[in-house]
Structure 1
Amino acid sequence: MLRSLRPSIVTAAALLLACTSEPADESATASATASNSGTTGDATTSTTTATEVTSTAATDASATAATSSTGDPLVPGDDALIPVFEGEHVYFGDVNRRQVDVTVDLPEDGEYDAITLSFALDCPNGLCDHWDRYGTFGVVRWPGAEDEGYVELTRFITAYRLPASWELDLTDLRPLLKGETTLRVFIDTWVGPGHAQGDGWLVDASLDFHGGVPSPRAIDVQPLWYQSFAYGDPMSPVDQQVLAQSFTPPAEASAFAVRSHVTGHGFGNLDNCAEFCPRSHGYQLNGAGGYARTVWRDNCTETAVPDQLGTWTYPRAGWCPGADVIPWTFDVTADVTPGAENTILYAVDDYENTCRPESAQCMGCSPGVTCDDGHSLPYYYMSAVLIAYD
Structure 2
Amino acid sequence: MTDNLQALYGAKWMFNRINVLAKRVLRSETEVNAKMDQFHFSVLSLSKLGNWLPTLLREWECVDHNCGYDQVLFQAGNTEYPIVLKRLDAHYDWLRSPVSTFGNKTLPVVLTNSDGCQPSSTVNGSVALVNSGGCSYFKKVQTMHASGASAVLIMQNQTETPQDMNCQDNECTVPLSIPACMIENFNFDAKSHLNVTFQNTPSPSFFAAIDPQGALQEVGWFLYPSMSFINWQTQWFQYKRNLTQQLQKPAHIVSVFQEQVMQGQTGVVVNISTAELKGFQHLELDMSLSCPGERDTTCGHWDHGISLFVCCNPNSTLCGMEIGRWISPFRRRVGRWITDISPLLPMIQNNQSDTCTFTMKTAPWAMPWIPSLNLRLYKTSESTAPSETFVLYQPGATFDKHYNSHFKPFNFIPPADVKKVVIFAVITGHGSDENGCGEFCVTSHHFSVNGHINNITFSEAGTPLGCANQVLTGVEPNEHGTWLYGRNGWCDGRNVFPWVIDITQQVSLNKHNQITYFGWFNGTDPNPKQNPGMISIYSYLVYYRS
d(CA) in 2 for partners of 1:103, 1:248: 34
- SS of 1:274's equivalent? coil
Q: Is the 8 A contact 2:270 2:357 kept in 1?
A: yes
Cα drift, residue 343 of structure 1: 2.4
d(CA) in 2 for partners of 1:117, 1:109: 13
- SS of 1:90's equivalent? coil
- SS of 1:181's equivalent? strand
Cα shift readout 1:43-62 (whole Å, capped 9, x = no counterpart) = xxxxxxxxxxxxxxxxxxxx
Partner residue of 1:155 out of 314, 320, 325: 325
Larger Rg: 2
Residue of structure 2 in register with 1:289 after alignment:
452
Structure 1 residues 148, 331: CA separation in 2 closer, same or farther (over 3 Å shift)? closer
d(CA) in 1 for partners of 2:392, 2:272: 24
Cα drift, residue 129 of structure 1: 1.3
Residue of structure 2 in register with 1:352 after alignment:
527
Residue of structure 2 in register with 1:187 after alignment:
362
Partner residue of 1:171 out of 333, 336, 342: 342
Cα drift, residue 107 of structure 1: 4.1
Structure 1 residues 189, 315: CA separation in 2 closer, same or farther (over 3 Å shift)? farther
Question: What are structure 1's unaligned runs of at least 5 residues?
Answer: 1-34, 38-77, 192-198, 357-375
Residue of structure 1 in register with 2:303 after alignment:
132
Question: What are structure 2's unaligned runs of at least 5 residues?
Answer: 1-215, 219-249, 461-465
Structure 1 residues 352, 109: CA separation in 2 closer, same or farther (over 3 Å shift)? closer
d(CA) in 1 for partners of 2:312, 2:363: 21
Q: Is the 8 A contact 2:343 2:424 kept in 1?
A: no
d(CA) in 2 for partners of 1:283, 1:189: 32
Cα drift, residue 137 of structure 1: 1.3
Partner residue of 2:280 out of 83, 98, 112: 112
Taking CA–CA contacts closer than 8 Å with sequence separation of 6 or more, which of the two structures ends up with the larger relative contact order? 1
Q: Which amino acid aligns with 1:122?
A: S
d(CA) in 2 for partners of 1:217, 1:251: 15
- SS of 2:258's equivalent? strand
Residue of structure 1 in register with 2:411 after alignment:
246
- SS of 2:470's equivalent? helix
Runs of 4 or more, structure 1, over 6 Å off, are: 145-148
Alpha carbon RMSD of aligned pairs, Å?
Answer: 2.7
- SS of 2:435's equivalent? helix
Cα shift readout 1:84-142 (whole Å, capped 9, x = no counterpart) = 122221113xxx33x33322114468643432221011102342211110111132244
d(CA) in 2 for partners of 1:183, 1:148: 13
Structure 1 residues 36, 138: CA separation in 2 closer, same or farther (over 3 Å shift)? farther
d(CA) in 2 for partners of 1:114, 1:147: 23
Cα drift, residue 336 of structure 1: 2.0
- SS of 1:83's equivalent? strand
Structure 1 residues 223, 141: CA separation in 2 closer, same or farther (over 3 Å shift)? farther
Cα drift, residue 250 of structure 1: 3.7
TM-score, normalization by structure 1: 0.65
Q: Is the 8 A contact 1:111 1:213 kept in 2?
A: no
Residue of structure 2 in register with 1:279 after alignment:
443
User: Going by fraction, where is helix more abundant, 1 or 2?
Assistant: 2
d(CA) in 2 for partners of 1:277, 1:140: 34
- SS of 2:395's equivalent? strand
Cα shift readout 1:191-217 (whole Å, capped 9, x = no counterpart) = 3xxxxxxx4111100112233443432
Structure 1 residues 123, 386: CA separation in 2 closer, same or farther (over 3 Å shift)? same
Alignment of 1:214-253 (within 5 A): 214-232=382-400, 234=401, 237-253=402-418
Structure 1 residues 147, 260: CA separation in 2 closer, same or farther (over 3 Å shift)? closer
Residue of structure 2 in register with 1:384 after alignment:
539
Residue of structure 2 in register with 1:259 after alignment:
424
d(CA) in 2 for partners of 1:90, 1:82: 20
d(CA) in 1 for partners of 2:252, 2:342: 14
d(CA) in 2 for partners of 1:146, 1:188: 26
TM-score, normalization by structure 2: 0.47
